Amino acid sequence: MQQRSIEFGVGLFLILGLLSLLFIAFDASELDYSEGQNMVQVSADFDNIAGLRVRAPVRIAGVRVGEVTGIQLDQHSYRAHVVLKIIQQLYHIPVDSEARILTEGLLGAKYVSIIPGLSERFLKAEGSIQRTASVMVLENLIGKLIFNMNKK
C-alpha cells in the first residue's frame, strides 16, 4: 500500500515537471504574445537579411512591438521581402521610417529595428517601409581585419 502511494507521488511529480517545462517553453518563446491582440501587417524589402528568421522580434526604441511573419525572395529585384506584424495599439509608423536588421549582442539572433522618421503621415496597413538598411556581414569584417593584420 505504501509502495503504491510512493509510486503515485513520483508519477505526480513527473507530470508536474513536464507541465512546468511546457510552461517555460511557451513562456520563453512568448507564444501567447500575439494572440488576443489586433495586429497590423506591413512589409519591408532588404538587400540582405543574413539570418533573420520568421518570428524574430520587431522593435522600436528597443521595445518589442511585433514580429516577422514572412520572408520571401522577390524574383525581380533579388531582394528579401519581409512581412512584419505589429500590435495595433503601438502602430504609428511615420512613412519615412527606417527599418534595420540588428543583432542582439555580438553574436545573438537577428531582429528588425524601426527608427521612426519625421513625417506627419503614417504608414497604412499593408504599407511598406521604404528606407531599409542591410546587416553588417561579420564574415566580411573579419576578412578585412585579417587582411589588415597581414599588411602590418
Partner 1 sequence: MLSKRNFIIVLFGLSSLVFAAVSPVVLLDQTAIRLIKQLKQHRQQLKQKPELLVKIVNKILIPRINQDKMAQYVVGRTHWRQATAQQRSDFLRYFTRVVISTYAEALHSYSDQKISFAPIRGRLSDLSVVNVHSEIEPMDGPVINVVYQMLREKGTWKIIDFSVDGVSLVQSYRSQFADVLLRGGMVALLKELRARQAE
- Torsional class of 83: left (φ above 0), alpha (ψ -120 to 50), beta (otherwise): beta
User: What is the Cα 79 distance to its own chain's centre?
Assistant: 18
Query: Is residue 126 near partner 1 by the rule CB under 8 A?
Result: no
A 10 A CB-CB count for 7 gives 10
Whichever of 24 and 141 has its CB closer to partner 1, that residue is: 141
Q: Is 70 in contact with 85 (CB distance < 8 Å)?
A: no
Query: Is residue 137 near partner 1 by the rule CB under 8 A?
Result: yes
Cross-strand partners of 124: none
Q: Which listed residue (7, 32, 74, 104) binds partner 1 by CB under 8 A?
A: 74
Whichever of 49 and 67 has its CB closer to partner 1, that residue is: 49
Query: Is residue 77 near partner 1 by the rule CB under 8 A?
Result: yes
A 10 A CB-CB count for 46 gives 21
Per-residue binding letters, 38-67, with partner 1 (x by CB under 8 A): ---------x--------------------
Report CA torsion sign: 79, 81, 86, 88: positive
Q: Give the cell for residue 57.
A: 522580434
Residue corresponding to grid cell 529595428? 113
Query: Is residue 18 near partner 1 by the rule CB under 8 A?
Result: no
Query: Is residue 117 near partner 1 by the rule CB under 8 A?
Result: yes
User: Candidates 5-13, 24-32, 64-72, 96-104 — which segment interacts with partner 1 by CB under 8 A?
Assistant: 96-104
Whichever of 33 and 96 has its CB closer to partner 1, that residue is: 96
Q: Tell me which residues touch partner 1 (CB under 8 A).
A: 47, 74, 76-79, 94, 96, 98, 100, 115-118, 130-137, 140-141, 143-144, 147-148, 151
